[in-house]
Chains A and B, each alone.
Chain A
């Protein structure tokens, strides 16, 4: 039975005093937010669940280094982002095997979208749009993809992105810009076909 009710700092104190079970409360408390960001970065449910497990495991092992003035949710969130980045980095060699080619070929792209989205109800083709978006995301590098997710979907500031990725804020900002540029290039086919 997991004990709830204590705040994160009290729980961490108990864990470091040898109460392993107390860590369960932290896991329960923060699992959903970690799964959310992990899924957004990895785009894969199984990978996202692996990331959540790995993040909590790393967090437990590094808990002695956790500084009391920090916020545990922010701390474990950053660990999860790193785990997700590692996961994405490991599979990025396959990133360019997506159906959307690297070059922006209007004719080919037009066919890809127009074939499935022709007709007056094209605005309802959210599945195709998501597929195109996913393909565009996969064209990004692991860092660009993670930075874009954190900026566009998690509303993180460039400072927060830099801290999560272990890079300077300006480097995080540049990663976001490159990601947006590539995404727009990919999604321009959508604009043409619609």
Chain B
């Protein structure tokens, strides 16, 4: 049989003293059945029974007032209405903390807004100006390509034997040749290889028309027609012309014309 420990016996002793002996029914049953534990418990009860309760020194009814008389000079009155009694201290402190947190949050929010606005202004101010479009005046280029297209169409269908038709071609080619050189030069500066290449080929055709040694004969016209067709120059000029409306729409001031 496993005997009760001293802790169990002590627990039972004090529970019995306060009328809770029935709470340790298992211990009671064991003590009733085990002579060794019963003797141990009796010894414990005797020992603890010998420990008398210490009686405090007698004091009369005025004792409390004497304590207060000695204590009162040491006390400082609580501030009136500082905190309400029913947990008001805790509530007020909580509200104070909440108010401080709210102010901090509001301050941080406002500072953030100011900082954000300032940053936006800085970004706007520091943003690089949009790169200017090529300063080739679109209207001039458009007119040049229009005229060049008409010239190429006429060249495509010209009757090489008709002097009446060849002479205006030559004159028009001479007229376009100078403008074409300027447009080509500008396109080259603006790093527009498609336009540069097209104007370069156009330059060869215009030059052949305007400055053909010995005049424009049927053989020269046929050669130029062949060159124009082989290069697809007419088609290329039309493609370039198709770009013009987009660029004209993108730029507002360009439509007003200007210089190259």
Residues of A within 8 A of B (CB): 2, 12-13, 15-21, 23-24, 27-32, 35-36, 39-40, 43, 45, 48-49, 52-53, 56-57, 60, 63-65, 67-68, 126, 129-130, 133, 149, 151-153, 155, 157, 173, 176-177, 180-181, 183-184, 187-188, 190-191
Contacts and interface: CB of A to CB of B under 8 A. Distances in A.
A39 B57 contact: yes
22 contacts: A2-B68, A16-B82, A17-B80, A19-B77, A27-B68, A28-B64, A28-B65, A31-B63, A31-B68, A39-B56, A40-B56, A49-B67, A60-B75, A63-B78, A129-B52, A130-B52, A152-B48, A155-B18, A173-B11, A177-B6, A180-B6, A180-B10
Interface in B45-93: 46-48, 50-54, 56-57, 59, 63-65, 67-68, 70-72, 74-83, 85-87, 89
B56 to A, nearest CB: 4
Given A152-B51, A155-B18, A183-B47, A56 B67 contact: yes
A140 to B, nearest CB: 12
Contacts of B70: 53
Contacts of B79: 18
A32 B68 CA distance: 12
A105 B48 CA distance: 21
A82 to B, nearest CB: 17
Contact of B89 (A18, A39, A65, A130): A65
A106 to B, nearest CB: 16
B67 A68 contact: no
Contacts of A53: 67, 70-71
Nearest to B80: A18
Given A39-B56, A40-B56, A191-B46, A52 B67 contact: yes
A20 B77 CA distance: 5
B220 interface: no
A68 B87 contact: yes
B87 A32 contact: no
B157 to A, nearest CB: 108
Give chain A's interface secondary structure class. helix
B10 A24 contact: no
Contacts of A67: 87
B7 interface: yes
Contacts of B131: none
Given A15-B78, A45-B57, A153-B54, A57 B71 contact: yes
Contacts of A40: 53-54, 56
Contacts of B86: 68
B14 interface: yes
A56 B71 contact: yes
A57 B67 CA distance: 11
B89 A64 contact: yes
Given A40-B56, A63-B78, A177-B6, A2 B65 contact: yes
A151 B18 CA distance: 10
Contacts of B87: 67-68
B73 to A, nearest CB: 11
A187 B47 contact: yes
Given A32-B59, A184-B47, A191-B47, A64 B67 contact: no
B244 interface: no
Nearest to A20: B77
Interface in B80-109: 80-83, 85-87, 89
B6 A23 contact: no
A152 B53 contact: yes
B92 to A, nearest CB: 10
A27 B10 contact: no
B56 A151 contact: no
Which 9 pairs across A and B sit closest by C-beta, in order of nearness?
A28-B64, A18-B80, A31-B64, A36-B56, A20-B77, A39-B56, A13-B85, A24-B68, A27-B68
A124 B28 CA distance: 33
B219 to A, nearest CB: 117
Nearest to B17: A155
B56 A48 contact: yes
B44 interface: yes
Given A48-B56, A65-B89, A180-B10, A24 B50 contact: no
